[in-house]
Structure 1
Amino acid sequence: MLKKSLLAWHDEGQITIPYALITGYKQLGLNEQEVILLIHIFSFIEKGNDFPTPEELSNRMTINSSDCSEMLSRLIQKGFINIIDGFNSEGIRFEKYSLQPLLEKVIEQFLYNKKQEEAVIQKNEEADLYTCFEQEFGRPLSPFECETLGMWLDDDRHDPTIITAALREAVISGKLNFRYIDRILFEWKKNGIRTIEQAKIHGRKFRQYQTQQRKKQYETSATSKSIPFYNWLSEDRSD
């Protein structure tokens, strides 16, 4: 008996409700009753009833059909649902609810919230960036240095994490100055460096190249010193 009941429960199916609707309906200007009504419309549509009556909807809720009808009218006026007219294959006119306007509003609100969250994160990252520079330089930044940092962020569109990586690269190279960091950022941008991992790989390759170059210079210098210098001007030409 229990098994049959569970199977019957499973066969009833499920409906998919956007999580952003549940978490953001207040921002959309909806109240709890309106959200529940919309969820019931979702469920009727999923079961093949595209135009449930106020009576059918109110039977599932704690409001009467009159209040349900008023709520439906309000949702239509506020642009959350539409009523679409059409004709079926037999030429019979029909009406159905469209929840497309609701989904569009939910998406717009979701994207707006994400943009606001990203703005807060970026603002915090920029504040941390200034702190990081002051810690490495061991002093407050000058107005010119602050302006340069602002230009890297606003004009050159460098990500704060990339600027921090360039600062670390300058520290490792023993050249802690803004001109050197600016050069690093210029080279990275020219070479398409966009992530911390790419910056690390590029930095290792650059330091390996510098080490090889210094080794070659040393070997060339040592070789030139081992070959005696012949002074043609002091040669004895008495014979």
Structure 2
Amino acid sequence: MKDNILQWFQEGNITFPGALLANYKKMNIDETELVLLLQVHSFIEKGNGFPTPNDISSRMTISVPQCNDMLRKLIQKGLIEIQDGHGADGIRFEKYSLIPLWNKLIENFLLTLKGKDMEKKQREESDVYSTFEQEFGRPLSPFECETLAMWMDDDRHDPIIIKSALREAVVSGKLNFRYIDRILFEWKKNGIKTIEQAKSYGRKFRQFQTQQRVKIDEEKTQTPSVPFYNWLDHKS
């Protein structure tokens, strides 16, 4: 993913100035360093890959010695590097590269994204606990909390699927952890990963149970209007 984002930077799909302006503070870059980096980027875009401190200083409010010192510090901080190049005539030249800065921008972006994913996961997991307590009408016991954690961390069940299994248990009138665990086991074994798949799988078993009841008790005038599948009695 990191390589893809770097390529997007290089191809111009992500604007470097915009990304830098939004994230420079998080990267411990001050405003003067920010402007200098943007100036270097501007020179590179216009074909001057190695602007002198005098070139850069002429566009800023800092002196040439200050610019020279700041360029050295940015190189030491790993934000700029000097690369060797060769022209069509074979003459060697030097140029600035901002790829180290792009890489740091990408790392910062990925860390932010990871943090958001963690926050989302924590919210979803917290919502699972709250939903279970609402349905059970009481706080969960330590064992039940441990079981929920095991379903999410060890068995890798999506919180949405766990809540779907809970709803299945409620509809079936079998509100207990053993029944829900059996549902999750059957769903995982049969590759059920979405709510739609879970609903479809449940409907099929209910239809099967309806057919079985009709065969067993043909004398009854009608079958239960809402037949339920007993997950604990299912034999795989």
TM over 0.5: yes
| Partner residue, 1:8 | none
Q: Given that residues 20 and 110 in structure 1 are in contact (C-alpha distance below 8 angstroms), is that contact kept between their aligned partners in structure 2?
A: no
- CA offset at residue 114 of structure 1? 1.1
Aligned in 2, Cα 1:45/1:200: closer, same or farther, shift over 3 Å?
farther
| Partner residue, 2:4 | none
Aligned-partner Cα distance in 1 for 2:219–2:17: 70
| Partner residue, 2:56 | 57
Aligned in 2, Cα 1:213/1:60: closer, same or farther, shift over 3 Å?
farther
Aligned in 2, Cα 1:163/1:73: closer, same or farther, shift over 3 Å?
same
Q: Given that residues 80 and 102 in structure 1 are in contact (C-alpha distance below 8 angstroms), is that contact kept between their aligned partners in structure 2?
A: yes
Q: TM-score, structure 2 length as denominator? A: 0.80
Amino acid at match of 1:197: E
Aligned-partner Cα distance in 2 for 1:21–1:215: 69
- CA offset at residue 175 of structure 1? 1.1
Residue 181, structure 1, aligned to residue 208, structure 2: no
Q: Percent identity?
A: 64
| Partner residue, 1:228 | none
> 1:1-239 residue pairs with structure 2 within 5 A?
16-17=15-16, 19-219=18-218
Q: Given that residues 81 and 101 in structure 1 are in contact (C-alpha distance below 8 angstroms), is that contact kept between their aligned partners in structure 2?
A: yes
Aligned-partner Cα distance in 1 for 2:58–2:219: 93
- CA offset at residue 36 of structure 1? 1.9
Aligned-partner Cα distance in 2 for 1:57–1:217: 90
Aligned-partner Cα distance in 2 for 1:123–1:215: 46
Secondary structure at 2:26's aligned position in 1? helix
Runs of 4+, deviation exceeding 6 Å: none
- CA offset at residue 207 of structure 1? 2.8
Q: TM-score, structure 1 length as denominator? A: 0.79
- CA offset at residue 76 of structure 1? 0.4
Per-residue Cα deviation, 1:144-190 (whole angstroms, up to 9, x for no partner): 11111111111111121211111111111211111111111111211
- CA offset at residue 74 of structure 1? 0.9
Equivalent residues, number: 208
- Could you list the runs of 5+ residues in structure 1 that have no partner in the other structure? 1-14, 223-239
Secondary structure at 1:219's aligned position in 2? coil
Aligned in 2, Cα 1:120/1:72: closer, same or farther, shift over 3 Å?
same
Secondary structure at 2:93's aligned position in 1? strand
Name which one, 1 or 2, has greater alpha-carbon Rg: 1
Aligned-partner Cα distance in 1 for 2:198–2:22: 38
- Could you list the runs of 5+ residues in structure 2 that have no partner in the other structure? 1-13, 222-236
Aligned-partner Cα distance in 2 for 1:137–1:18: 53
Greater relative contact order: 1 or 2 (C-alpha under 8 angstroms, separation 6 or more)?
2
